Amino acid sequence: MKKTKLYISLSLIALTGLLLVAADHIDSPGVSNTGNDITDVYAFQGADTNNLVFVVNSAGLLTPGTTGAATFKENVLTEINIDNNGDNVEDLVIQAIKRGNKMFFFGPVAPGTPGISSTIKTANAAGSVEISQYGSPAIISTSGGMKFFAGPRDDPFFFDLGRFQAILGGTASGFNNPGTDTFAGTNVLSTVVEVPKSMLGTSTSINVWAETKQKQ
Amino acid sequence: MKINSIKFLTLSILAVTTFVSCNNDDTVTAEEQTDFSGTYVQKDQMARPAINTVFIASGAPKDAFNTTTPSAMGANYQSVFQSRLLALNPGYTTNALGQTAAAFTSLLATDVLGVSKTGTTTFFDGTNVLTGRALADDVIDVELLLIFGGPTGGSNPNLTSDHVNANDKPFLPAFPYLAAAW
């Protein structure tokens, strides 16, 4: 009885359009196909434990056939937001934007104004890196203790999304074992930056989120 | 024609070389030469994996969530998240972290990723909870367990793991850490 109720609930959710589409791989109408759609955000300690690494991925579910043509957009600013006093308002931002064949980075620096509108902190240029091409080795640059990368990578996300959709749709009662990774063999466009922890304030922990912002 | 072209090209190269030479002590950077002007307005926002996609209905509500700043999310979305949680799992009481539906969705509705600056960074590794998100973290199993697993993690065993436990390519030990594209 309990199970039946659960499946009925899940079916209703599916009918009302609440389908899980990956970590965030196929987002909402406002961001699809605009270069704004973030698929995943990662934040972890670097191989050098004095550093943190931030990864922002976009353009999900690229196949080997479509990856070569996928490009970052010059009107889309990627912003890594860092709150270091627990109020969920950004105290520092790291900005990344494409110009020509390079990705330019700014910060970490206090934003002009926190919130939904940003200007690029041109007085706080951190460095730049040539955007790596599909099928070529990764191009990395370093500047001021920071490291930069931008280009296509294997999507690090893994999930049996297909089976989960079947569960939500009421056509499956649970996951398979082993499951099937819906994201196997697919790529994303990655922006990766490694930053000394000392540049991120003095708190012992931070709150992090990523945003894409489009030029008006 | 061909010789003339070569001569012209040579002259051009000489001209460029001379020009560059004259600017050896010029410290103008690419940043200053490139146009970064204008105002950029938020289109997408993300921190914890899959949260927005699980708990916010597609279409206009998702666009609204994506353009909400995290400091305003809790007040605007906690009740929405709680309704979704109880629709997904009508039998929800508490989860393996001991959180009630209200406490769990209050945490989730503010979509930020807590990251430790002093130690292990992981979504969940059996000891540390929400101290970051590493590439190899099985974040989906953590979320399924917290949504469906009940107070002991033992409820709904067919829904608490997707049994995909690792990426399809090994990660790199050094920057940029992510594997090369397929």
Q: Hey, are the CB atoms on A117 and B39 less than 8 Å from each other?
A: yes
DSSP letter string, B149-172: STTTS-SSTTTS--S--S-SSPPP
Write down the ipTM of this complex.
0.88
Whether the CB-CB separation of A159 and A26 falls below 8 Å is answered with no
Q: Percentage helix, strand, coil, to 5, in chain B?
A: 40, 10, 50
Q: Is the pLDDT of residue B50 over 50?
A: yes
Choose the mutation target among A58, A78, A158, A167 for the interface with B, i.e. most B CBs under 10 Å: A158
Q: In the numeric block, which tokens belong to residue B160?
A: 């608490």
d(CA B177, CA B136): 11
Whether the CB-CB separation of B160 and B145 falls below 8 Å is answered with yes
pLDDT at B24: 42
B115 and A CB contact within 8 Å: yes
Helices B70-88/B139-148 angle, 10° precision? 60
For the stretch A195-205, pLDDT in tens is 999 999 999 99
Whether the CB-CB separation of A54 and A184 falls below 8 Å is answered with no
The DSSP code for B131 is: S
**B138 to chain A: nearest residue by CA?**
A158
Domain boundaries, chain B: 51-148
Choose the mutation target among A26, A205, A214 for the interface with B, i.e. most B CBs under 10 Å: A205
Q: For residue B169, which residues of chain A lie inside 8 Å, CB to CB? A: 154
For chain A, what is the radius of gyration of the CA atoms? 19
Q: What is the mean pLDDT of residues B19-34?
A: 50
Angle, vertex CA B118, rays to CA A149 and CA B94, nearest 5: 100
Residues β-bridged to residue A195:
A52
- Give the rounded percent of residues in chain A with a pLDDT score beyond 70: 86
What's the domain count of chain A?
Answer: 1
Q: What is the mean pLDDT of residues A40-46?
A: 98
Give the pLDDT band of residue B19 (cuts 50, 70, 90): very low
For the stretch A56-86, pLDDT in tens is 999 999 999 999 999 999 999 999 999 999 9
Q: Hey, are the CB atoms on A38 and B54 less than 8 Å from each other?
A: no
Q: Is the pLDDT of residue B59 over 60?
A: yes
Helices A2-15/B70-88 angle, 10° precision? 130
d(CA B87, CA A15): 12
Range of the domain at A78: 2-214
Q: Is the pLDDT of residue B8 over 80?
A: no
pLDDT at A189: 97
Instruction: Residue window 136-165, chain B: list those with CB within 8 Å of chain A.
Output: 138-140, 156-159, 161-165
**A136 to chain B: nearest residue by CA?**
B180
Q: Hey, are the CB atoms on B181 and A99 less than 8 Å from each other?
A: no
> Which has the closest alpha carbon to A166: A62, A14, A44, A41?
A14
